[in-house]
Chains A and B, each alone.
Chain A
Amino acid sequence: MSSSSFALELLDADGGHVLQTWELGDRDLIYLGRSRDSDVVFSNPFVSRTHAALQQTAEGWELQVISTGGVFVDGKRIERLILEDGVVFRLTDRGPWLRFQYEVSLENQSGGATFAFDPARTPVFVLDDAQLKREVEQITGGNYFQELQKRMAQIRSRTATRKAAGESS
């Protein structure tokens, strides 16, 4: 077992039993999500297509939240988290519970995720359409955007008039 390897354990709702274990070896960046292109794939509907990432940093493994659905530790939403051995986090406030383990126990290992590609070489960029729609609507629904959209028609016609005047003078 290499010292840099660790595991993610999927826990049952009571948090007591390990349902599945993913052993994650020598890699620097791991994506968690519903997309089949994720390194660890969840079929849970609360999980976004690209929900979060685990990245090796100078401080240790860091959990980075990508989805607006968020990640929760002890019921509190977090933005990023340096992962300590045994820490339990939840994808969204209704999604799956996961435990981060530096020590991998081989007995519980069930495979499930395969690492056929190297993310450093193979880009995997897939849009989370639901998140995109939500974020766009948040902005376009605002007063400023709607006002701007209305005003742009006026502004553009004024610009065209100015240009025409400038050209004829």
Chain B
Amino acid sequence: MSKIVAIHSFRGGTGKSNTTANLSVLIARAGNRVGIIDTDIHSPGIHVIFGRKPESFHHTLNDYLHGKCSIKQAAYDVTESAIGRVGPDDERPRIFLIPSSIEVGEIAKVLREGYDVARLNDGFQDLLHDLKLDYLMIDTHPGVNEETLLSIAIANSFVLILRPDSQDFQGTAVTLELARRLDVERIQVIVNKIPPSMDRELLREQVESGYQAPVIGMLPLCNEMAELASSGVFSNSHPDHPLTRELVRIADQIMN
């Protein structure tokens, strides 16, 4: 019963990579094998949160798409840095990172040259099978481009992250409508970086009524998260923080 979860935000700066990293760790800790595909290695990406340097990756998702390696060769076991030491023979929990250098321009180029969308889907399915993944999390590019659309279409579950901001609100609605037209099975919404003074229930009501989709998490604007500056996984360093508790609830709803 493995599942592909695409995590997306309409604009940058929503905390998408940090949220993806934390949810992946929490889902893995619940006794799962989790793969994370980062589709944005050129800007500070999810590998940073797991303490990995891009140079340490011999293969990326790009190499797989260009037929230079199997998708499994582009997957790196980051369990120790993400969760801590587990027994060498323990199958669970495990976390794998599949880095990528796909940029909008490059994907467009690949598509022009006759790239088969089915190959990326095959890659995702191979990952689920070869690494015996329970969950594959796709950390997508902000905005809407071909690669995003494909990730959305392939996902079983689509998680949208936005800030309480009117541009985010309007733009996210577009992505959400596209996901509906691509027949995504499940759409869920997370509101992040909520100012402490804001009326949270009213906010939830407005988002749910505007989007007709469930809000599975309301995350506060958090100084401690900002101070961590993507140098680690927040839920590891702050296990009892209210933000971590809310992240745990979100992870439960993704796994549910």
Contact = CB atoms under 8 A, between A and B. Distances in A.
A27 interface: no
B144 interface: yes
Interface residues of A, number: 33
B203 A123 contact: yes
Q: Would you call the interface of chain A mostly helix, strand, loop, or mixed?
A: helix
Contacts of B169: 125, 127
B203 A148 contact: no
B5 to A, nearest CB: 16
Contacts of B170: 50, 66, 127-128, 131-132
A131 B170 CA distance: 9
B173 interface: yes
Nearest to B149: A148
Q: Would you call the interface of chain B mostly helix, strand, loop, or mixed?
A: helix
Interface stretch (B43-51, B75-83, B191-199, B234-242): B191-199
A35 B198 CA distance: 21
B121 to A, nearest CB: 5
Contacts of A154: 118
Contacts of A53: 166
Give the contact-size bracket for chain B.
20 to 34
B125 A162 contact: yes
A69 B169 CA distance: 17
B182 interface: yes
A139 B174 contact: yes
B178 interface: yes
Given A125-B210, A127-B169, A155-B118, A120 B181 contact: no
A31 interface: yes
Given A144-B146, A152-B153, A122 B202 contact: yes
B213 interface: no
Nearest to A49: B170
A105 interface: no
Nearest to B144: A139
B106 interface: no
B197 A166 contact: no
A126 interface: yes
Contacts of B197: 120-121
A147 B25 CA distance: 35
Nearest to B205: A123
A128 B210 CA distance: 10
B130 to A, nearest CB: 10
A135 interface: yes
A16 to B, nearest CB: 33
B111 interface: yes
Interface string B100-130: 0000000000010000011001000100010
A66 B144 CA distance: 17
12 contacts: A120-B198, A121-B199, A125-B164, A125-B166, A126-B206, A131-B170, A132-B170, A136-B174, A136-B181, A140-B181, A155-B118, A163-B125
Given A162-B125, A166-B129, 14 more contacts: A50-B170, A120-B197, A121-B199, A122-B198, A122-B202, A124-B206, A132-B174, A136-B181, A140-B178, A144-B146, A151-B118, A155-B118, A158-B121, A159-B121
For the complex of A and B, the 5 pairs showing the least CB-CB separation, nearest first, are A123-B203, A125-B206, A125-B169, A136-B177, A135-B174
